[in-house]
């Protein structure tokens, strides 16, 4: 799917609040700027995040929902959905697959963006167990669940959600990227989104420097001119 022909709709599924902003907020900003309708599905509330022990975990969950909603607005996303699973305890389950399938059938996206279910040995923090579980559950929700009317029958029988076959999957934090999006013109919106996560980011300057290094590396690997910034994905054609 070339950049000159962007998807009309996209669904982003991540484990935690802030995952999408580190991994793909520049690309999301580009998508919304060209008219793509983007929905976020955040699987956990991020209760285990932050370092302030005086903040209760239930309060942290509410803080992180507010932060992610504000971050989404910075890149043009207003539809943010939270599944409410517990941070640090995520596992691929029938229930998780069903809940992601529900959102897929509701949104009916042309593209689903999620975290890679494959561990990165060169970048262990990218492979948080919750990230791997969210990615794997999303892949299974895309195929076979979302397109099969007999999978999770309550979605069709009780909620009236017809099957939907997702044409494309984009994986973040993959070791086998084949799509690079130049986000130089969207970097400030990405950093504004990251800056919304006050409970998680104590030193935004340091984060900005590190993330800029990552994006500059992506751009160089793709052969883009010096000074450009990019985000990269592994793309998978998921339907016949």
| Helices 57-74, 19-33: crossing angle, 10 deg rounding | 30
CATH code of the domain in which 69 resides: 3.40.50.10320
Q: What predicted TM-score, i.e. pTM, was given to this entire model?
A: 0.95
Of the chain, the percentage scoring pLDDT greater than 70 comes to 98
Q: Is 92 domain-assigned?
A: yes
Number of structural domains the chain divides into: 1
Q: Is residue 124 part of a domain?
A: yes
* Band of residue 240 on the pLDDT scale cut at 50, 70, 90: low
Q: Is residue 22 part of a domain?
A: yes
Domain membership flag for residue 85: yes
Asked, for residue 93, whether it belongs to a domain, the answer is yes
Q: Average pLDDT in the 168-176 region?
A: 93
Task: Calculate ∠ Cα 237-190-50, nearest 5°.
Answer: 100
45-82 residue pLDDT tens: 998 888 788 899 999 999 999 999 999 999 999 999 99
Quick check: is 2 in a domain?
Answer: no
User: What pLDDT does residue 3 have?
Assistant: 54
Quick check: is 47 in a domain?
yes
State mean pLDDT over 147-163. 98
Distance CA(57)–CA(78), nearest Å, equals 25
Look up the domain containing 207 and give its range: 9-237
Tell me the pLDDT of the chain averaged across its residues.
95
pLDDT tens, position by position, 184-217? 999 999 999 999 999 999 999 999 999 999 999 9
91 assigned to some structural domain: yes
Task: Tell me if 194 sits within 8 A of 25, measured CB to CB.
Answer: yes
What are the residue ranges of helices labelled H in the chain?
A: 19-33, 57-74, 94-107, 129-140, 153-157, 187-195, 204-221
């Amino acid at each position: 799917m070339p950049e000159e022909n962007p998807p009309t709709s996209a669904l982003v599924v991540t484990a935690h609040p802030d995952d999408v902003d580190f991994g793909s907020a520049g690309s999301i900003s580009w998508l919304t700027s060209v008219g793509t309708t983007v929905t976020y599905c955040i699987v956990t509330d991020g209760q285990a995040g932050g370092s302030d022990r005086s903040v209760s975990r239930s309060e942290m969950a509410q803080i992180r929902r507010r932060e992610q909603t504000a971050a989404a607005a910075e890149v043009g996303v207003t539809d943010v959905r939270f599944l409410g699973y517990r941070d640090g305890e995520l596992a691929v389950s029938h229930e998780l697959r069903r809940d992601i399938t529900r959102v897929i059938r509701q949104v009916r996206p042309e593209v689903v963006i999620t975290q890679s279910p494959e561990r990165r040995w060169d970048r262990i923090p990218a492979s948080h167990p919750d990230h791997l579980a969210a990615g794997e559950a999303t892949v299974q929700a895309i195929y076979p669940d979302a397109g099969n009317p007999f999978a999770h029958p309550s979605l069709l029988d009780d909620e009236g959600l017809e099957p939907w076959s997702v044409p494309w999957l984009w994986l973040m934090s993959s070791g086998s990227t084949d799509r690079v999006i130049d986000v130089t013109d969207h970097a400030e919106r990405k950093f504004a989104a990251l800056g919304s996560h006050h409970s998680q980011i104590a030193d935004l300057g340091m984060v900005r420097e590190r993330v800029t290094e990552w994006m500059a590396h992506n751009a160089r690997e793709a052969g883009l001119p010096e000074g450009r910034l990019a985000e990269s994905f592994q793309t998978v054609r998921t339907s016949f």
